[in-house]
Amino acid sequence: MQHEREHYVNGEWVAPLEPTLLDVIDPSLEEPFTRIACGGSRDVDRAVAAARTAFTKFSMTTRLERLDLLRSVLAEYERRQEDIAAVLGTELGAPLQIAREWQLASAELESVIRVLEHYQFEELQGTTKIVREPIGVVGLITPWNWPVGQIIMKVAPAIAAGCTMVLKPSEVAPLNAIIWSEIMHTAGVPAGVYNMVQGQGAVVGAAMSAHPGIEMVSFTGSTRAGILIAQSAARTVKRLSQELGGKSANILLPDADFEEAVTKGVLGVMRNSGQACSAPTRMFVPADRHDEVKRIAKAVAGRLVVGNVRDPKTNVGPVVNKNQFDNVQRFIQTGIDEGADLVIGGPGRPEHLNRGYFVRPTVFANVHNDMTIAREEIFGPVLAILPYRDEEEAIELANDTIFGLAAYVQSSDLVRARRVAARMRAGTVHINYPASDRAAPFGGYKQSGNGRENGKWGLEEYLEVKALLGYDAPTA
């Protein structure tokens, strides 16, 4: 890799106009291993100008032309997947198995291609023609926890819609985005259609969200940052699509298979070191099964292997940086101080590790819904087990949150599970840990965001709707 200190603009790797460098830290070693360019407002201006110039021609391309382009991107992406998995181990601390199975997200790109193959951009409604056309230049701001997957979930539908774009990837885990930009170049994406400016969110992200030449911003990240972006974007009345924080409830109904439900629930929290906004971090269990759940959860968490991300036996790596490590440690200590029952884990690193931002897989029980660890997004490998008296209380407690990204319901009675799922105030409800559906809409209620990604809903985020009245002659 040779482009760490450059941006990708108008089909070329270019030096930054405002050159500053930022260390990229290996979270397993707590040491910098490379430095990247940090852009500024002038770098954003240059990228937006390239995207606006390219939009005139690219917005007029046909569905088949955009399909050919996306298929070319997919082919090149599949060729470079091992390169991306390797850098995710270094910059994110993702165990190789997790990087390959969960992070690479080629299925998202395939899903966009399938949607574009059949999507109807035009329809006749009486004498009026309804046309869906690209919104314009879009700003894409992606997070560090699922970095390349989120890039795909934004870039691919933007291309499918006929938009041009400026991407700001996470400065915490940026190398996968550099490889992605190399993929876009090799795949033959026309100059100016895709542009990438590296840098910090407070600088590059802020410049993008306020930029008058950008018609839409798609952002994935914290609710706090999302509020700032929304305030900035409002000045130019941009469309805003945001996927923000979560504190997802996982309701285990009394007739669930508890061995399976608890096991999968614990693993769902610990995957990616707990750094997933839709992780089922609040497990609601019948009060009379609470001790049984504690026993199962302790056994599952105790079997997890924390350590070297290149060891195939490892399934939990470090959290991404010192700030994240310190935040998670504070939450764990707060859980203890507020009286939650520490089942396993706790403060500090695992005993066998003397460096790296490794967190003990931690389970708390006897948690009440007013405790900090039940209210706030921890973004680490920490599970809270909350007892409930009956189904009605479980639903009430599950919905008692400012977030609404995801929810989970476990029951051997599908009719009952569906009834409870229907009452969850969340954008995605998982019934009995189903297989993922890349065509299903993904997004949140309440402070978990607005808009949807994936499937036809993800494509439509990047489309404007135009009505051509009097397009057809009225019938006699």
Q: Hey, which residues are catalytic here?
A: 243, 277
Which tokens hold the place of 422? 């229907």
* Closest by CA position to 171, among listed 383, 385, 339, 321: 321
Terminal-to-terminal C-alpha distance of the chain = 66
How many separate helices (H) and strands (E) can be counted in the chain? 16, 20
The packing angle between helices 147-161 and 63-79, to 10°, is 160
Q: What is the C-alpha separation between 450 and 441, in angstroms, rounded? A: 12
Beta-carbon contacts of 55 under 8 Å, excluding residues fewer than 6 positions away, are 134, 136, 137, 163, 164, 192
Sign of CA dihedral 317, 318, 319, 325: positive
* Closest by CA position to 155, among listed 206, 100, 222, 109: 109
Place of tokens 């991300």: 309
Q: What is the C-alpha separation between 19 and 11, in angstroms, rounded? A: 20
SS3 154: helix
Quick check: 404 and 448 in contact, CB under 8 A?
A: yes
Q: What is the C-alpha separation between 188 and 68, in angstroms, rounded? A: 10
Identity of the residue numbered 443: G
Identity of the residue numbered 53: T
Q: What is the C-alpha separation between 472 and 310, in angstroms, rounded? A: 63
- The phi and psi torsions of 241 (rounded to 5 degrees) equal -120, 120
Q: Which helix (H) or strand (E) holds 208?
A: helix 206-210
